[in-house]
Structure 1
């Protein structure tokens, strides 16, 4: 089943400068990349405290990026500077699993068309939570590594 997935790439500030200079082209190390499947919108929704207007919720930018870079495959490619990565990492570390779980409101998420639109069966809440928690943990780990290494992040959804 096809759908929109989000990809994050960690890179040094020097590598980011090269990518920016080359208009989004560049050599990216594959071991610095994760794809968080279709969980991106739900994660943005949960970390933004159920606010769907992401422009008004700066924390959601850790999914969508803070600065425009280029277009790729009909997608906006954005980046996050190392100091912003550190701030996002601090914020993520303050959001407990329990806090995020308590924000998991299927009816509200279905009403707001949160992707991937799997919110119509409350009986599957625990299974969906396991799926989301897996990707939330991956995002946390990714940001922790980027923060510890003073790295930037490129984000895109395709």
Structure 2
């Protein structure tokens, strides 16, 4: 199956509840699943989260940059600690900076220098970098995921929501 990244709009009430849960992993994951079932603003970028972060920032997700809105777009800002899956959130007041950074980023230009060997060397997830014949398909998927992410963040900003990132 693999590690899949999902992004959802989180209401202020649900964010407050999440912050109050502490480290009760089962309760947190059940609540997140329930909130996602109720939410209409969702984004699923499947397994391309690590390479998308790499294209946007020049490094894999092992090198999260808390000061870079492009890194924050992929990984969120505040990680929920002490649970086995990756879960993080971004509060509404940070979304305008993320939207602006995504708007200013030229993905088509970045993909012109996309290099499968560099992805392999950086040990990015998923491990598909030996399939050179799939490079154009991967680039198309990255462009699609980027455009969907840009649209998602704008919609959440307009809805006065927060963003929840889960990678599991």
Tell whether the structures are fold-level matches, with TM greater than 0.5.
yes
Q: How far is the alpha carbon of 1:14 from its aligned partner?
A: 3.2
SS state of the match for residue 54, structure 2? helix
Runs ≥4 in structure 1, deviation > 3 angstroms? 22-27
Q: Which residue of 1 aligns with 2:6?
A: 7
Q: Which runs of 5+ in 1 are unaligned?
A: none
The answer as to 2:59 corresponding to 1:43 is: no
Match of 1:113 among 123, 126, 132: 123
Match of 1:86 among 85, 92, 96: 96
Count how many residue pairs are aligned between Structure 1 and Structure 2: 155
Q: Is the 8 A contact 2:108 2:143 kept in 1?
A: no
Instruction: Give the alignment's TM-score, normalised by structure 2.
Output: 0.81
Match of 1:69 among 80, 83, 99: 80
Q: How far is the alpha carbon of 1:156 from its aligned partner?
A: 1.4
Instruction: Give the alignment's TM-score, normalised by structure 1.
Output: 0.86
Q: How far is the alpha carbon of 1:125 from its aligned partner?
A: 1.5
Aligned CA-pair RMSD? 2.0
Q: Is the 8 A contact 2:79 2:87 kept in 1?
A: yes
Q: Which runs of 5+ in 2 are unaligned?
A: 23-27
User: Residue 107 and residue 35 in structure 1: after superposition, are their counterparts in 2 closer, same or farther (change >3 A)?
Assistant: same
**Cα distance in 2, alignment partners of residues 133 and 71 from structure 1:** 33
